[in-house]
A and B are shown apart, each in its own frame.
Chain A
Amino acid sequence: MSATPSTATPPKSAIVRKRSRAPRFFVVRAPLPKGASSWALALAFAMPLLVWAALSYLPFLWHPLVLIGDPGDTKHPGQYAYLATGQRVEREVFERRNAELAAAGKRLAQGERVNPVFLPPPHAVARAFYTGFTTPPLRPGEYWLHESLLQSCQVIFWGFFWSALIGIPLGISCGTFALCSRLVEPFIDFVRYMPAPVFGALAVAVLGLGDEPKITIIFIGTFFQMVLVVANTTRSVDPALLHAAQTLGASNRQLLMHVVIPAALPALYRDVRILIGWAWTYLVVAELIGEKSGLSSFLYQQQRYMNFDNVYAGIAIIGIIGLCTDQFLAMVGRLLFPWESGNNRLSRALKSFTRLFASQKRMPASVTTVL
């Protein structure tokens, strides 16, 4: 008769644990929670910077060398008697010298723990970033940093421009016509294994010391890859689209112009974005052949003077230019190919813009019909 109303209070194990509301960051192929995405983006850049700052400013982290402030009694002979003010020596050397001096009862050497000269602290690089642009060149014939930068950008632009101008149409032809593919691709496959820099001496011999050989190196470095990549992208256009167009009466030429090219265009654009990165890789080689020029010659020179803060600033400039170019091109891509990213705000703005022009163009026609 002890029938307790067990249904009213279920056993504890049956109570469903309330799901934790905390955001979960490690869910397989799930988007990040709101806000976390931009935080992660900021962290992506902040983390390496923080590591760098920690290594630079926390004296107990790494700092394998000692910067000699006072070499102590330099007259006392010994294995390590060469210490001098302003020298960076290994900590072990410093300690042994002091042991020598202490044993002899002489004045000890003084110094502070520092990093090697090739790891300048962030503030030094930040300062170099600014002073790089404000410091006049050492010798009268040399260029300001912004002039070197402009020169580099010009070499990249022209090298890549010629490469794209010839490479993209050739690649599209190879991806479309079996004959072109057979005629062109085997040889290009052969040439592309030759590293572009090996043509450096030849380019200088033929084209002289100016920018032309440098542009040629960029061209050689990107052109052959471009043809093959573009050809493959063109080949990967869905054949069903071609069949559909054929059953709609498209001629051979119309298939190429109205189906193959527009279908491949967004992917081709992505290819080009990746290949611009390659162009920057070859720039460093190209600028050191013949007459050294551009950003690379600036880097080369600063490295010889051991101005590593300037070197890092120069490298950072390349990174920033690359990132900005890519982001800019990505934005232009969203404008050009609105069907890829959905009907976004940018493309709608562009559409209304083109409609504005279209209506203006149409105006005379409507006027004539009224008349």
Chain B
Amino acid sequence: MPNDQLELPSYLHHTDEVKRRLSEIRERPTVMSLSGITRRFESAEGSVTALDTIDFEVRSREFISVIGPSGCGKSTLIRLVAGLDTPTAGEIWIDNQPVTGPGADRGMVFQGYTLFPWLSVKRNVMFGLRMKGISRSAAEKKALEWLDLVGLADFADHYPAQLSGGMKQRVAIARALANEPRILLMDEPFGALDAQTRCSMQSHLLKIWEAVDVTILFITHDLEEAIYLSDRIVVLGAHPGRVMEIIEVPVARARHPDQFLSGHFLATKKRLESLIYDPETHSKRGSERMSPVAA
């Protein structure tokens, strides 16, 4: 063994603090469950199975990430949960209610911000509340509270076009949370941001998540982002999209960027790399190869 290799703990090894937290999460009620979710796309060239019998459950206030190589059906999965697409087989349950279409109980944050350009920042955040029929003044008051939480109260009267990418995404998060969804779906929300902004947005998201009673389903292809943010990581394999492993992240909370270099963090990252980049040989020496981290 080369002597400059770090001696890493197993990613399966949990400290007592982590063990306690994970078992506490397991006792919480289930917010969302996927059972046998399959999605096939039919085309002239034949049918492509994007997702193949996906099963997992998400507990209340859990932060769960879905990670996988491109083409593994991550985005398809989150669109199914959001109700923007319907599965070929299987069912999605939110609080023991089957998903039949989009609804306010599943807020979503998209990679492309998708703020309404004709509405001011404040009106964007008010949108969901107004759709519910909440009065303008009540919605406005709530919107300002949420904008305060994401640190954009001073920009309430700006138009989205006047904001930077990171600010837009914070508005999008506030807009989704203002609706008080049971679960917040985030589809590679920081994928379009530069590295520094992404980093600060991750910390910001963790702070928001700690302050708010919300469960988060987070799609990403950034391994470190998944480890840094999540309680559990669902690793999908491609062609067809299948759950390869569900990793319970052995990194203690509250999370801090310093932990990026901790043994448990690196061990988890190594495991994810071997699952994603070397799915065939991940039990052999191939797992030690340094793979380029997906940007």
Contact = CB atoms under 8 A, between A and B. Distances in A.
A248 B127 contact: yes
Interface string A261-280: 01101100000000000000
8 contacts: A244-B114, A247-B107, A248-B107, A249-B104, A258-B130, A262-B116, A263-B116, A337-B118
Interface string A332-351: 00000111101100000000
Contacts, number: 83
A247 B131 contact: no
Interface in B103-120: 103-104, 106-108, 110, 112, 114-119
A131 interface: no
A248 B118 contact: no
A285 interface: no
B116 A243 contact: no
A177 B14 CA distance: 55
Contacts of B199: none
Nearest to B130: A258
Contacts of B172: 244
A244 B82 CA distance: 10
Contacts of A245: 116, 127, 131
A254 B103 CA distance: 13
A247 B185 contact: yes
Residue of B83, B102, B160 with most chain A CB atoms under a 10 A cut-off: B102
Contacts of A343: 158-159, 162
Residue of A244, A251, A263 with most chain B CB atoms under a 10 A cut-off: A244
B212 interface: no
A240 B114 contact: yes
Contacts of B83: 246-247
Nearest to B79: A243
Contacts of A249: 102-104, 128, 131-132, 179
A54 interface: no
B177 to A, nearest CB: 11
Contacts of B82: 243, 246-247
A367 to B, nearest CB: 15
A265 B118 CA distance: 10
A259 interface: yes
A266 B159 CA distance: 15
A263 B115 CA distance: 11
A248 B104 contact: yes
A55 interface: no
A246 B114 contact: no
Contacts of A243: 82, 84, 102, 108, 110, 114
A245 B124 CA distance: 10
Contacts of B101: 246
A258 B116 CA distance: 10
Contacts of B159: 338-339, 342-343
Interface in A220-274: 238, 240-241, 243-251, 254, 258-259, 262-263, 265-266
A-B residue pairs, 6 tightest by C-beta: A249-B104, A248-B128, A246-B102, A247-B108, A244-B114, A339-B159
Nearest to B101: A246
A265 B117 CA distance: 12
B131 A258 contact: yes
B182 to A, nearest CB: 12
B112 to A, nearest CB: 6
B116 A259 contact: yes
A343 B117 CA distance: 12
Nearest to B107: A247
B176 interface: yes
B13 to A, nearest CB: 38
Nearest to A254: B131
B175 interface: yes
